[in-house]
Amino acid sequence: MRVLRDHLLRAITDHRIPIGSRLPSETALMKQFSLSRTSVRQVMMELSAKGLIERRQGKGTFLVDRTSRLTKTSRSMLVGVWFNWPTGPLWGPVADGIREELDQWGYHAVFESGGFSLCDERRGIRSLLRKGLDGFIVAPSPEPNATHQPLGEMIDRGLPIVLVDMPVAGHQADLVCTNHELGA
């Protein structure tokens, strides 16, 4: 994976890929770098999250103009939200609070359905990453001994993220927690 990522980053930096041009297909990259489709997609999601490429459904992946993405008007003004308890009794007020606060800053929430398992977490986080959002609010799955790999990768890449009620072990990120002791 690292070889593919480094190859694409060098090609972008050296301007060997013109702005707006289509990158090779996933199949072509799989063959050229002897990688699985999952590995190729992971690299593409990472470059997309950094704002370097844009994936267009049914058309391919294209290099974007990074200078235009630095202006405020190029932001999506969307924040992805994934919670592990979207049907719990506190979900409604929390969702309303997120919407109200984001609205004050000119942003809107994109809610992805949640679930308690790590599989649900991975699916939801990957779905949000594909949307090219400006930031994320995530309540990690409470499964014991969970590594929360996609969340850790997001934090390591410096994506704007706020965790809710639970930190991700080994990673530093903004965290909003309930005072469970006082609440009890």
Question: In the chain, what are the domain boundaries?
Answer: 2-68, 75-183
Question: Please, what is the average pLDDT of the chain?
Answer: 83
Find the helix packing angle between 26-33 and 2-13, rounded to 10°: 110
Residue 81 has pLDDT above 70, yes or no: yes
**Residue 31 one-letter amino acid:** K
Q: Which residue has the higher pLDDT, 24 or 67?
A: 24
Band (pLDDT 50/70/90 cuts) for residue 66 is low
CATH class of the 75-183 domain in this structure: alpha beta
Whole-number Å distance between alpha carbons of 56 and 67: 20
Going by their DSSP bridges, the two strands 60-63 and 53-56 should be labelled as antiparallel
Band (pLDDT 50/70/90 cuts) for residue 99 is very high
| pLDDT number for residue 74 | 59
| pLDDT number for residue 182 | 77
The CATH classification number of 2-68 equals: 1.10.10.10
Residue 36 has pLDDT above 90, yes or no: yes
